[in-house]
Amino acid sequence: MARFTDRTVIVTGAAQGIGEGYAKALAAEQAKVVVADLNSERGEAVAKQITADGGTAVFREVDVSDPESTAAVAEFTVGEFGRIDHLVNNAAIYGGMKLDLLLTVPWDYYKKFMSVNLDGALNMTRAVWKQMSKQGGGSIVNQSSTAAWQYSGFYGLAKAGINSLTQQLAHELGGSNIRINAIAPGPIDTEATRSIVPGKYVDELVKTAAIKRLGTPEDLVGACLYLLSDDAKWVTGQILNVDGGQVFRA
């Protein structure tokens, strides 16, 4: 059954990988999807593929670190579809990310990284919440990571920030009937992961999980659809691990 008929959703970072998987799955359940990304070539291709498959999607360029850009994508969405029901904050600097220590990473790079990987989710939420509230509510999913509970430098710091942001915003948005939750994936087999994580380290990560394989973007789709949908209408402020049993949290 299509849970998102007549619903509109913005998916950031939807030009490839996990975000692309979310966008296509939402369109398959009849959502009208805004594929939002900096990469216009790949983003346009994803939107065109969704349309060719019988779904409804448009591309819009966005820089989530820029409040003016996030406000513009929200305005575009309302102009295109008349409403905003759901938001997936998936955009992040990951593929091609610098590998460095918190103690030594160049400050300008660190600030840019955090402006996308942490502040970007807040910028997008600030851009959409008034429209959602005016409509009577909505739901948001943030992309976290199991890196939030392990040593992983500034990447883990950003994801720990996403977890706290999710919990804090749940209280600020609850009065407007807007729910916000996060998904924390374990290691996922994507182009970005293959480009940045050494194969030997990936093998070690797999060994620590209960299910001995890398995850796939498809493994995350069910959690995203559930948290956005009315099936989770009394779920907010939660961080849902989808990680093959990699991390135990008390």
Residues labelled catalytic: 155
Cα–Cα distance, 133 to 139 (Å, whole number): 10
Give the residue among 81, 99, 164, 89 at the shortest CA–CA distance from 127: 89
Task: Please tell me the distance from the alpha carbon of residue 34 to that of residue 70, in angstroms, as a whole number.
Answer: 13
If one counts every other C-beta atom within 10 angstroms of the C-beta of residue 134, the result is 12
In Å, the largest CA–CA distance within the chain is 51
| Rounded-to-integer distance, Cα 66 and Cα 100, Å | 25
Cα separation, 59 vs 249, in Å, equals 38
The letter for the amino acid at 248 is: F
**Residue 193: which residues within 8 A CB-CB, separation 6 or more?**
94, 95, 187, 202, 214
The helix-helix angle for 17-28 and 217-228 (nearest 10°) equals 50
Select from 6, 1, 52, 54 the least CA-distant residue to 32: 6
What tokens appear for 182 in the block? 């996060």
